[in-house]
Structure 1
């Protein structure tokens, strides 16, 4: 009589092999094991020495080429003034003026798109409002085009007066021209160097209907966004390695250095009005300066971080609460705050506490992508150590990994799911 073993006996060897594979997979290290994640020097961590970087041109006296970060560790730090000690405020903290500054001495220059009103005494046929065209000219009746871009209103008045005299429309004694700026247009300037998004930026962008009738009827216009700080902010703000006390503004061959540390410390600072064609350069120190990592007028207000938290305590990113506001973090956020925002912290003490968080960040100085891994418990217990809890930068990626106990629990659950149908055979 032949004997046929039950079907379950045939399945058992395959089942044992499957369980062995699952256990081995559960004991295996996760996929980022081959990546060097333990480097102490990480962008977002203040270090004693700076990073080598390539200048836009050969370093000169205008660019910092030393990599000793100790001289920059207090740059941009907030100042404290004591009432029991004299305030030693010196003239170097005074604002630049047209008397001592080559850029401001040129006056407020006109740019393409600016709206001006021309008033000529006894010149009804010429009076009116004119827009400086793309080529930088205004076109008046009879006398034709007059170059206006890059000129002050005083120079434009003189040019129009000379054109009227040369056309024999007015006598030299009677030619009197007055020009009022009714609206400063949006302008393009270039920003290079230690900013997050260098390139050409458009500043002084105005929404339609922002001016009321009183402004339209009044002569003159004042812009709060056609300024140096706005150009830097539009380029996503300065990086933490910026040489903040040596920002360079280039206009028509003239060049000035501007100390903008007052934007962070509360000291006086000259926020230059810009004109079309200006060039702004923010040199890099090569050093991370923690005092520059906070929201300000020339740093990012906030940025986006990409997060993932696919763990058992939260089955997906939606239930983990990782939405728009969780991933939009204020500038100056550290890895611990991002881990809390991603719901990586907390839960069952014995089973979920030994989690890990992985941070991937691109070093904007060297262009290298760096990856580090930190224990969530280490972040919670030693958040004051910069090498454990670094700063986050725009577009960083943060991922959470579960504890080993949770991994084994998942393997056990998978084994039960496999054995249960077999038992019912």
Structure 2
């Protein structure tokens, strides 16, 4: 049976020490992340710290790449910061699949519940189809009155009522500067959430078909979005909507969308720090991919890395996630040199980037915020133990191997 001799053990020990103390190479990136020419300027490499802490540079570097907001040059619509919202987009408008209730006093032929047809019209017995897609109940009701007189069913326009009984889901195409551009379905009943009382009542209303719901269902706006000129295309007509109020805590016209609408969010081609916060149109949160630590924990369960750690609010920064993942703290002599690597992706180009930060450097620098990037949906985080911890792990393995050799 082979037993390692003293010389071999010494060689293994020297090799292990050298391996434990070896500094890993810096990650190579296609984009010049270290020079600040990546999606976030916060990715750039550390610069020499001045005697007096300088003003933070990253927001200014990011803003320097921005093109002017397109909405400030004018448009056909807007919000609080732009032109008045076009009347055609306001109020509760009908779309195909909506359920309406028509009532005429002392009439047995026309009253009843009707569904707006797939072609966007309201079909009543004996009358030509009445356009309903994108119109208000009042506009459709006026057309019904005229049709009843024109058909000879009434001598004068009758008194009638047309109320919405239930709103159908709407399918909306969302593209541009959102994290998940796709066709989304918004509004309607979800799963077993059935409110029989509301469905039986007249005058239904919904917030589920709002513009903000469509943007969040498409992953939320990206940090490079130009909120001053969001484009809504409806029935071949383009409208420009200013949504900056949604991020500023001001009122904005959260209009109701219809099946067939198309939303396009343009890009300012830059990272905007002020968009990295929760809002009605931001991503609902971030699901992180976290690696396990060898030391001081052996897995997610003993580290208490559960769902609340892997899912963080939008606007969370790199160091907050590092602390949340138990990558910081412990014995200074063995843990102070710990580092963490962030794996991210430029949502405009699809190109990935990897950056690594020394935890203690981030803790001690006064300008730490300049190098503390915001987390984006789909980001991954890997923690690396210090050289002392690595060496102790290697020595533990050598010790186990020696015990096995002695027992053979």
RMSD across aligned positions (CA): 3.3
CA distance in 2, matches of 1:324, 1:174: 62
In the other structure, the counterpart of 1:60 is none
Counterpart pick for 1:134 among 110, 118, 126: 118
Q: What stretches of structure 2 of length at least 5 have no aligned partner?
A: 43-57, 73-78
Tell me: CA distance 1:246–1:115, structure 2 relative to 1, closer, same or farther (3 Å): same
Question: Segments of 4+ in structure 1 off by > 6 A?
Answer: 94-97
Worse-superposed segment, 279-288 or 395-404? 279-288
Find the counterpart in structure 2 of residue 236 from structure 1.
219
Query: Per-residue deviation at 1:17?
Result: 4.9
- 1:22-421 equivalence runs, <5 A: 22-30=16-24, 33-36=26-29, 39-41=34-36, 42-44=38-40, 45=42, 46=58, 48=60, 68-69=65-66, 93=80, 101=86, 103-104=88-89, 108-143=92-127, 146-161=130-145, 163-165=147-149, 167-168=151-152, 170-173=153-156, 177-207=160-190, 208=192, 210-211=194-195, 213=197, 215-216=198-199, 218-382=201-365, 384-421=367-404
The 8 Å contact of residues 382 and 388 in structure 1, kept in 2 or not, is answered as: no
Please give the secondary structure, in 2, of the residue aligned with 1:140. coil
Structure-1 separation of matches of 2:150 and 2:8:
103
Shift of 1:145: 5.0
Distance 1:283 1:71, change over 3 A: closer
TM-score, reference length from structure 2: 0.82
Q: Which moved more, 1:264-273 or 1:179-188?
A: 264-273
Alignment length (residue pairs) = 381
CA-CA distance at 1:279 after TM superposition: 1.6
Q: CA separation in 2, counterparts of 1:171 and 1:246?
A: 48
CA contact (8 A) 1:95 1:270 kept: no
Structure 1: tracts of 5 or more residues without a match: 1-5, 52-66, 76-91
CA distance in 2, matches of 1:341, 1:161: 64
